[in-house]
Structure 1
Amino acid sequence: MITIRDIANQAGVSVSTASRALNDNPRISAATRRRIQSLAARLGYVPNYNAKSLTRGEANVVGVVFPPSQSSTQGNPFFIDAMRGINRVLTQRQYVLSVAIGETSDDVLANVSAMVDQAKVKRFVLLYSHEDDPVADYLRLAGLRFVIVGQPSVSHDDDYVDNDNVAAGEAGATYLLDKLHANRPVFVSSAVDWPYEQNRRQGFKQIAAKRGVPTVETQLPRADAPIASITEWLEKHPNIDGILATDDLIGLSFYQRWQHVHPDAQVPLVSYNRSISLPLPNVNFHSIDLYPERLGAAAAELVFRKHSTEAGHENRIILPFEQLN
């Protein structure tokens, strides 16, 4: 059976480029698209592996796809809780989950395409969303059923489950400014700057603007980046008096580096996911629970519904998050 990896190897391109070309993605040049599509036709490539008929030849498996990462993303408590919710629903339906992980988008795509071609997996939950994702492109091309945890690109009518992350950013900023009395807050995101982080930043900035509060922003460097870069940034911003971070792990990592540079400065920290179960000594730490287990369960329920673009069809689900008091 011919796979996308076979086509990519023969065409001398990456797996993601081959997938995008087959999906007629305009980011790939017209000449390259024609060349790869012609090659696929000559090789007899069948993109959906007869997958559009979901009632025949389907394994009782749902693929759960992690974002590409060189770090231990799969150990993030948010994803663990989301998988717990997914697994609860799948168990009721006598399905099991299979995980797709990889350091790069090509690695993840190869894993997913192997699930489809070799294991007949035809339903997927993506635990992330970003623009021009080759995995989502591949699943659309194959006519497979998938749901995204997170809001997809506006250019696609994908089914998804998410929180209102702009509102979550507003809630975090309101608590930090009004309850914890920060006047010079910093917003901290990952180096990837995922769409949910962009939305939380938007909410943060909206509240800060309403309050007339000046803000600064920074990104936590990747694990393999030199620590000097964030140290230099912290030295240049000694007056920060509050932190809003896009998740607990990012927030606590930033706070530890802050304390290393400013050991006598105590600043409050607000973040998301409530993944730290034990109280932290000497840290004024507050976390907004996004209820990831509920998100995972809702995504798993949705992946068994038929996709529809009809008005009123609940293929886009926004779940509430915790409100800090």
Structure 2
Amino acid sequence: MTNTDTNLSCGCRLLSVDDAVQGAVIPLALLYPAIGTESEERFGPYPLEVAKDAPPAAGSWPLVVISHGNSGTPWAYRQMAKHLVQAGYVVALPAHTGNTRLDNTLAGTAANLENRPRHISLSIDAALGDAVLGAHIADARVAVIGHSIGAYTALAVAGAQPWTGPHESKGAPPSPVKVRADSRVRALVLLNPATPWYVAGSFSEVRVPILIRTGEQDKLTPLEHAYRVIDGVPDASLVEHKDIPGANHFAFMSKFPPEMTRPNFQPSQDLPGFDREAIQPELFADITAFLTRTLCAV
């Protein structure tokens, strides 16, 4: 069972995960229910109150992995992650090396499509094998939250078969992307999903509950991307979808620090009359309730 004790601290451990296939290191942060005093830490430009390396609270907690968007960072979802920790989850935040704000050299390549789902499985391995947290994670209770191409990533981990698109194929015929499903993943949350790499039949093996939230004003991944999933999975009754009025593609991300909030940095901007902070309490509550139903039901 999860714990909604907001007196729990948000612990934080920073790990480095080796990806032998990519020949790269995946930065991984683990946030978890902890006993300790929080203080503000900065992860690049992103502030968050955490208790670094604090002892974990007693109990066995479900694991949630968050997959960030293209050229992004997991810290753009830090408030969502902390909310989940306070609700009794361990949250893994991998940075998809080659497709981050600091290193975007693999964007638009088949290698990136192959690497991202593997990063999720490696993050699950690292969390379960961690000397401090491993004993506190319920290994049969794992969910993945993905935003934009992060939702592509979550679907691939859950058994979807992607194909290369025009960017990746470079004029060659589309080909199946080499990905491997991870049976430990029991539920998905997809936020403004990017799904152009999926075709008819791609979702035939996706049989886990899915929560989808889309932005009514999302011009980058409009509603058709979500309906590719809803119409493609074998059992549409496992999908819960809501379209958020006024929300754009970036509305589900945490508010950016003041020094990053400027008109020419699109992820920091909401449309006139919309406030991402105002909708996030309901969003977080919906995600938490969904994860409780799907991961914690006996």
TM-score (norm 1): 0.36
Pick the structure with greater CA Rg: 1
With CA pairs under 8 Å and 6+ residues apart, which has the higher RCO, 1 or 2?
1
The structure richer in helix per residue is 1
TM-score (norm 2): 0.38
The structure richer in strand per residue is 2
